[in-house]
Amino acid sequence: METSANNTTALAPDASGASNTMPLVIVTILFFMWGLLTSLNDVLIPHLKSIYTLTYLQAMLVQFCFFGAYFIVSLPAGMLIKKIGYQNGAVTGLLIAAAGCALFYPASKGGYGLFLFAFFVLASGITILQVAANPYVTVLGSPRTASSRLTLTQAFNSLGTTVAPFLGGMLILSAAALGADELARMSAAEQASYRAAEAATVQGPYLVLAGALALLAMLFAIARLPKITYTAEANEKGSVTSHRHLVLGAIAIFVYVGGEVSIGSFLINFLGESNIAGMSHAAAANYVSLYWGGALVGRFIGFAVMRYVSPGKTLAFNALGAIALIVTAIVGEGQVAMWAILAVGLCNSIMFPTIFSMALHGLGKFTGQASGVLCTAIVGGALVPFVQGALADTIGLQLSFIVPAACYGFILFYGIKYANLHKV
């Protein structure tokens, strides 16, 4: 667990030379679970949009409430973890996330507002997990390979995001889901019955997830993990915000999460456009798995590449690729546009862990506080989709993808500016 008695340059395990392999395996399970839970939003957004006949902007309230929790909870979570330790913090986060999943049952009977509250509670638990787990991974090994190690664990986060849309499409989305015009032709009683039946499809999957999270919390509580302490050095000065690479890193996290989440949020509707693929929601959900699956493949590749290539250069290369692919999806049609937007997932692969570890580089005693700052920046996932949703309602869905393209433009700048930050 974390202590704060002395000045430090890095956190380090206080175990007597014990292997870090088992702690990494246990923490990696957490990465998988929050990836699964986060990616399920991409299935629920078009589902709830259809049930409650929402505009794109209204549907993006899901991501606004979910990722808004990061902004509200991250800094208090950092203080909580400083007090109770990384392991107990992770257990707390798991239990809160389990409660959020359980709230989907009453939400399915109570309307869209209760769904939004359930999303907020669920995300609050995941936020605590993020604040605890990301810095934990960066210190379980050499600082030089922190980006590579965090990329490997994030690969299992991507495994969760890859599996979730497929399972969600199978268990939640109905192939016979009605469009707004068909729903409008129903009587009020028929509409109410249809909405109740469609909303009820979330009950079983989310109750199972609540049970799994509670069980994981119990197992994590009894696991023997090394305590985390500070390694003392004497060259630290300033405040956490005086480190320019952290401040710019927080902006990069903001736009990265915003761009990635925004693309995922609109993918099912984008693939349903007649000039793109004309797919049903259920069929398109399987392709969302390919978007997240690209990140999974890319993270395993990135794990190997960044042992030899500087993280900043790799980040800049991937950002440039993402911009090119999004522009292709905006100006193209049919299979070209479809596969271009799906391929952005491959470029996303190394971005979050790379930005995160670059931003934490050399912060010493400020590491825990800085992790809270970076997790607060994940609020980009709430605001950027909101901006794209507003544009989609006015200029059209396809053109609205200019928003995530702009986000990757800043990431390109950050990667170039700190291209050699980890060079040794």
Q: What is the pLDDT of residues 244-288, one digit of tens each?
A: 899 999 999 999 999 999 999 999 999 999 999 999 888 898 898
Main-chain phi, psi angles of 10, to 5 degrees: -160, 160
Q: Confidence class of residue 12 from pLDDT cuts 50, 70 and 90? A: very low
- CA dist 79 and 86 (Å) reads 11
- Percentage of the chain modeled with pLDDT above 90: 45
To which H or E segment does residue 247 belong? helix 244-271
Q: What is the average per-residue pLDDT within 155-165?
A: 85
Q: Are 393 and 55 in contact (CB under 8 A)?
A: yes
Q: Confidence class of residue 161 from pLDDT cuts 50, 70 and 90? A: confident
Q: Are 26 and 217 in contact (CB under 8 A)?
A: no
pLDDT at 93: 93
pLDDT at 83: 86
Q: Are 62 and 381 in contact (CB under 8 A)?
A: no
Beta-carbon contacts of 388 under 8 Å, excluding residues fewer than 6 positions away, are 60, 262, 265, 266, 400, 401, 403, 404
Neighbours of 4 (CB within 10 A): 12
Q: What is the average per-residue pLDDT within 156-174?
A: 85
343-352: b or e for each residue (b if 16 or more CB lie within 10 Å)?
bbbbbbbbbb
Q: What is the DSSP letter of 229?
A: E
Alpha-carbon separation of residue 68 from 19, 247, 379 (angstroms): 37, 19, 5
- Residue entry with tokens 């359980």: 102
Maximum mean pLDDT: which of 207-216, 276-285, 405-414 = 405-414
For 277, the token pair is: 């693929």
pLDDT at 126: 92
- Gap between the terminal Cα atoms of the chain: 29
Residue 341's nearest CA partner among 409, 294, 298, 393 is 294
Residue scoring higher pLDDT (340 or 310):
340
- CA dist 338 and 290 (Å) reads 11
In order of start, what are the domains of the chain with their CATH numbers?
Answer: 9-417 (1.20.1250.20)
Tens-digit pLDDT profile for residues 108-153? 998 899 999 999 999 999 988 877 776 667 666 666 666 667 667 7
> Coil, strand or helix: which one is 80?
helix
- Asked whether the predicted pLDDT for residue 170 surpasses 90, the reply is no
Q: Where are the alpha helices (DSSP H) in 272-333?
A: 281-305, 311-331
Amino acid at 132: A
pTM of the model: 0.78
The neighbouring-strand residues paired with 228 are: 13
- CA dist 398 and 62 (Å) reads 21
Tens-digit pLDDT profile for residues 83-103? 888 888 889 999 999 999 999
- CA dist 116 and 158 (Å) reads 24
- CA dist 10 and 371 (Å) reads 13
- Percentage of the chain modeled with pLDDT above 70: 84
Amino acid at 7: N
- Asked whether the predicted pLDDT for residue 327 surpasses 90, the reply is yes
Q: Taking all residues of the chain, what is their mean pLDDT, rounded to a whole number?
A: 84
pLDDT at 234: 40
- CA dist 259 and 402 (Å) reads 10
